[in-house]
Amino acid sequence: MSEMTYPDRLAALRAVLVEQGLDGFVVPHADAHQNEFLPPDAERLMWLTGFNGSAGAAVVLRDQAAIFVDGRYTLQVRDQVDAALYSFHHLVEEPVADWLGTVLSQGAKLGFDPWLHTQTQKERLEQAIISTGAEFVPVATNPLDSAWLDQPAPPAVPVVPHEVRFAGRPSAEKRADLSASLRESVLDAVVLTQPDSIAWLLNVRGGDVDHTPLPLSFAIVHADQDLDWFVAPEKLSDELLEHLGNGVAVYAPDAFGAGLDRLAGKRVWACPDSAAAWVFDRLSGVKAKLARGGDPVTMSKAVKNEAELAGTRAAHIRDGAALVGFLHWLSIAAPGEGIDELSVAEKLATFRAPGEHFRDLSFGTISGSGPNGAIVHYRVTPETNRKLGAGELYLVDSGAQYLDGTTDVTRTVAIGSPSAEMRDRFTRVLKGHIALAMLRFPPGTTGGHIDVLARQALWKAGLDYDHGTGHGVGSYLGVHEGPHRISKVGANTPLQPGMIVSNEPGFYKEGAFGIRIENLVAVSEPAEIPGGERAMLGFETLTLAPIDQSLVDAKLLTDEERAWLDAYHARVRDVIAPLVEDAAREWLVSVTASLGV
Ligand code: ZN
Ligand code: ZN
């Protein structure tokens, strides 16, 4: 069968729109669970337009079409998408809703798939559309699916128990807590649509999406502790059913609607920012009394228990040994000829794969040399693949999924001799990283309060970086999870003991080089400071890998910062040296030597 061209695909979608009496259709980068990594059957935006970034949307009208991407993808979208078919727009500066306000005419019918928009997203779009006199029409069947003849089947990877030695608490106990909180709030049930929340609650893992061990599913948790789980039955083994126990009733995903209907007239908690508009419509349809609130599992999941913290420490030691083996290999291979971004990323994976409990990478490795390092979410392809060249920087951001923990680490290394500018910028990024690593802060402090500390040394020199400083990380779950983060915007959740967050300031010079230094840290218990009056929280650094000292301008560091770097390197050496081969150990000892200033 010959591949459909992009003009064919657009024409096929328009033909279905005409059949359905629609004047247009919105195609978001989303699935029914708002997953970060989409299963292949939900890659509708990519199928339609060719754009393969991790966020964006298209709108197809009868006589024009538009694609919206954020700042990370403004160059990529021009490479991947035919400008003769789509106009290009900035997702943030010219949002879909604003654009629709300028192009829709009175009485036009714009379709949307209510499974692919959260309730909040739907309401925002609806307002803009109604103000033009047009209609926003939910479709029962996605018209794009009718046009997409070889759409893959939904994934059906087996679900496996996540052992309590890794999870730390039995599922029944977690469910009892959640149901108790429902009773306290005088609610009858909560609807969960985020697969990572459900996986955490049930102590199960799966493999329906890349890099995150998720089974795609929905759940309804009742105040009496019963849980209705909507998941493809072919994913479940007898062992898994036994693991679930009696409190969990299993239904096929297409029974989810009927499950929601049984909540008729009841008081039901649902999250408008993560649950599909379809869920809200269905609940409203049976007159459920809706309590809108954030997914209640998100916060419980973010605060890791002792077993999860012990697991992530162990996983980070294993990951550190793999990284040291890799960085040692790189130190020998890079000055030679012929190693490139793709081959280096593949090599790194071979160091991680033999590790105990290794299951997968936690995201596609960002392997960027020279100017490619300046592209924040760079994904190397055969077309963009570059050799690592002398006098350049090489940035590698990577991570792994181990049964006992999820890792995410970035190192930037100099290939040959770095320039004075590279060393200055690197040292300023390092100062920001250390400022967070050493910080003590009172309970109640949010990631928004502390973000500035990671940027101050850059700001002083008239520099900055255009991404957040830290994101939450799961326990053998998503490498990006909320609700906490470290960022200028939207980081209003207080940092609590047990939360894992990344510490990843950077600096990017377009067309030249990129720098990022990323460690994961865990928020520590409050501790008294000698002579102090209030107990303070702090960060425990989890990631164990050397930071390239050939890029450090020691004159720019304070005594305290130098002491931090020396102590960190001594710890990396002490913990990792016994785990690597002789040659790597010798190398590790030399690159973790005291700055000696
Ligand atoms: Zn990373
Ligand atoms: Zn990260």
pLDDT digits (tens, 9 = 90+) for 126-161: 999 999 999 999 999 999 999 999 999 999 999 999
What is the pLDDT confidence band of residue 2, given thresholds at 50, 70 and 90? low
Q: Which ligand is nearest to the CA of 470?
A: 2
- Per-chain residues with Cβ under 5 A from ion ligand 2: 408, 502
CA–CA separation, 543 vs 550, rounded Å? 20
pTM to 2 decimals?
Answer: 0.95
Ligand nearest to the CA of 481: 2
CA distances from 359 to 161, 235, 379, 406, 505 (A): 14, 18, 21, 10, 28
Q: Which pLDDT belongs to residue 560? A: 97
Centre of ligand 2 to C-alpha 488, Å, is 16
173-179, long-range: CB within 8 Å, 24+ apart, which pairs? 174/200, 174/201, 174/203, 174/300, 175/201, 175/221, 175/225, 175/227, 175/247, 176/225, 177/300, 178/221, 178/296, 178/297, 178/300, 179/221, 179/222, 179/223, 179/224, 179/225
The pLDDT of residue 379 is 87
Amino acid 218: pLDDT: 98
Expressed in angstroms and rounded, the spacing between residue 196 Cα and the centre of ligand 2 is 18
pLDDT in tens, 80-115: 999 999 999 999 899 999 999 999 999 999 999 999
Compute, in angstroms, the gap from residue 247 CA to the centroid of ligand 1.
Answer: 38
Q: Counting ligands in written order, which one lies closest to the CA of residue 412?
A: 1
pLDDT average, residue stretch 546-572: 98
**Cα–ligand 2 centroid distance for 63 (angstroms):** 41
pLDDT range class, residue 597, cuts 50, 70, 90: low
For range 535-548, the mean pLDDT: 98
Whole-angstrom distance, CA of residue 553 vs CA of residue 172: 53
Ligand 1 centroid – CA 398 distance (Å): 6
pLDDT 10s digits, 155-164: 999 999 999 9
**Ligand 2 center to 395 CA (angstroms):** 13
Region(s) of the chain under CATH 3.90.230.10: 303-591
Residue 399 and residue 360 in contact, taking contact as beta carbons nearer than 8 Å: no
358, two tokens: 């290794």
Encode 116-132: b = buried (16+ Cβ within 10 Å), e = exposed.
bbbbbbbeebbebbeeb
CATH 3.40.50.620 fits 6-147, yes or no: no
CATH number of 303-591: 3.90.230.10
Which pLDDT tens digit goes with each residue over 437-458?
999 999 999 999 999 999 999 9
* Ligand 1 midpoint to CA 275 (Å): 27
Average pLDDT over residues 303-330: 98
pLDDT at 67 over 60: yes
| Cα–ligand 1 centroid distance for 127 (angstroms) | 37
Q: What is the pLDDT of residue 1?
A: 45
Q: What percent of the chain has pLDDT over 70?
A: 99
Q: Find the ligand nearest to 478 CA.
A: 2
Residues of each domain in the chain carrying CATH 3.40.350.10:
6-147, 160-301
Q: What is the pLDDT of residue 336?
A: 72
DSSP 205-238: E--SBTTB-----EEEEETTS-EEEE--GGG--H
> How many A from CA of 570 to the centre of ligand 1?
23
Q: Which fold has domain 160-301?
A: Creatine Amidinohydrolase; Chain A, domain 1 (3.40.350)
Which residues have their alpha-adjacent CB atom under 5 A from ion ligand 1?
397, 408, 410, 518
Which among 419, 297, 362 is positioned nearest to 36, based on CA atoms?
Answer: 362
Find the mean pLDDT for residues 373-398.
93
Q: How far apart are CA 542 and CA 126, in angstroms?
A: 44
The dihedral region occupied by 21, where left means phi > 0, alpha psi between -120 and 50, and beta the remainder, is: left
